[in-house]
Structure 1
Amino acid sequence: MNKFSDESVYSFIEYLQIEKNYSEYTIGFYKKDIEQFSLFMNAQGIDSFKSVEYFDARLYVTDLYSQKLARASVARKISCLRSFYKFLLREKLVKENPFVLVIQPKAGVRLPNFFYEEEMRILFEACDNSTLLGKRNLALLELLYATGIRVSECSNILIKDLDFDFATILVKGKGRKERYVPFGSFAYDALQGYISGVRDELMKGKQQHNYLFVNSRGGPLTPRGVRYILSNIIESASLTGKIHPHMLRHTFATHLLNNGADMRTVQELLGHAHLSSTQVYTHVTKEHLRKTYLNHHPRA
Structure 2
Amino acid sequence: MSAEQDRWISTFLEAQAAELGAARNTRLAYGRDLVDFGGWLGRAGKSFALAERGDVEQYLIYCEAQGLSKATRARRLSAIRQLYRFAFEEGWRKDNPGMRIKGPGRSAKLPKTLDLPQIEALIAAARESGRSPADTTRNRCLIELIYATGMRVSELVELPATAARGAPAMILVRGKGGKERMVPLSSPARAALADWLVLRDAADEAAQAAGKKPSRFLFPGRGAAGHMTRQQFFVLLKSFALHAGLDPAQVTPHTLRHAFATHLLAGGADLRVIQTLLGHADLSSTEIYTHVLDEHLKALVLNHHPLARKA
TM normalised by structure 1 equals 0.72
**Are residues 1:281 and 2:276 paired?**
no
**Are residues 1:50 and 2:81 paired?**
no
- Call closer, same or farther: CA 1:70–1:61 in 2, change over 3 Å: closer
Aligned residues: 268
- Call closer, same or farther: CA 1:47–1:270 in 2, change over 3 Å: closer
The Cα shift of 1:298 comes to 3.3
Q: Hey, what does 2:120 align to over in structure 1? A: 121
- Call closer, same or farther: CA 1:67–1:292 in 2, change over 3 Å: same
| Secondary structure of the corresponding residue to residue 115 of structure 1 | coil
- Call closer, same or farther: CA 1:271–1:288 in 2, change over 3 Å: same
Q: Hey, what does 1:6 align to over in structure 2? A: 2
| Secondary structure of the corresponding residue to residue 277 of structure 1 | helix
Tell me, which stretches of 5 or more residues in structure 2 are unaligned? 19-26, 48-54, 86-96
User: Residues of 2 paired with 1:195 and 1:152: CA distance?
Assistant: 20
Pick from 284, 287, 309: which aligns with 1:298?
309
- Call closer, same or farther: CA 1:234–1:8 in 2, change over 3 Å: closer
**Mapping of residues 93-242 of structure 1, within 5 Å:** 103-105=101-103, 108-127=107-126, 128=128, 131-162=133-164, 164-198=166-200, 200-201=202-203, 204-205=206-207, 207-215=213-221, 219-240=226-247, 242=250
1:234-265 Cα offsets, whole Å, 9 max, x none, are 12111147332211111111111111111111
Q: Work out whether residues 155 and 222 of structure 1, in 8 Å CA contact, stay in contact via their aligned partners in 2.
A: yes
Q: Work out whether residues 202 and 217 of structure 1, in 8 Å CA contact, stay in contact via their aligned partners in 2.
A: no
Q: Hey, what does 2:255 align to over in structure 1? A: 247
1:195-251 Cα offsets, whole Å, 9 max, x none, are 102453388435421111134899510111111111111121111473322111111
Q: Hey, what does 1:36 align to over in structure 2? A: 36
Q: Hey, what does 2:269 align to over in structure 1? A: 261
Q: Work out whether residues 145 and 249 of structure 1, in 8 Å CA contact, stay in contact via their aligned partners in 2.
A: yes
1:46-68 Cα offsets, whole Å, 9 max, x none, are 98442999866622355584283
User: Residues of 2 paired with 1:199 and 1:138: CA distance?
Assistant: 17
- Call closer, same or farther: CA 1:224–1:47 in 2, change over 3 Å: closer
Q: Hey, what does 2:50 align to over in structure 1? A: none
Q: Work out whether residues 175 and 279 of structure 2, in 8 Å CA contact, stay in contact via their aligned partners in 1.
A: yes
- Call closer, same or farther: CA 1:9–1:74 in 2, change over 3 Å: closer
| Secondary structure of the corresponding residue to residue 68 of structure 1 | helix
| Secondary structure of the corresponding residue to residue 209 of structure 1 | coil
For 1:225, the aligned partner's letter is: Q
User: Residues of 1 paired with 2:111 and 2:279: CA distance?
Assistant: 17
User: Residues of 2 paired with 1:282 and 1:215: CA distance?
Assistant: 38
| Secondary structure of the corresponding residue to residue 140 of structure 2 | helix
Q: Work out whether residues 135 and 198 of structure 1, in 8 Å CA contact, stay in contact via their aligned partners in 2.
A: no
Q: Work out whether residues 113 and 247 of structure 1, in 8 Å CA contact, stay in contact via their aligned partners in 2.
A: yes
User: Residues of 2 paired with 1:291 and 1:210: CA distance?
Assistant: 48
RMSD of Structure 2 on Structure 1 (CA): 4.1
For 2:112, the aligned partner's letter is: N
- Call closer, same or farther: CA 1:254–1:299 in 2, change over 3 Å: farther
For 2:266, the aligned partner's letter is: N
The Cα shift of 1:165 comes to 4.9
For 2:282, the aligned partner's letter is: H
TM normalised by structure 2 equals 0.70
Q: Work out whether residues 164 and 193 of structure 2, in 8 Å CA contact, stay in contact via their aligned partners in 1.
A: no
User: Residues of 2 paired with 1:168 and 1:227: CA distance?
Assistant: 25
| Secondary structure of the corresponding residue to residue 214 of structure 1 | coil
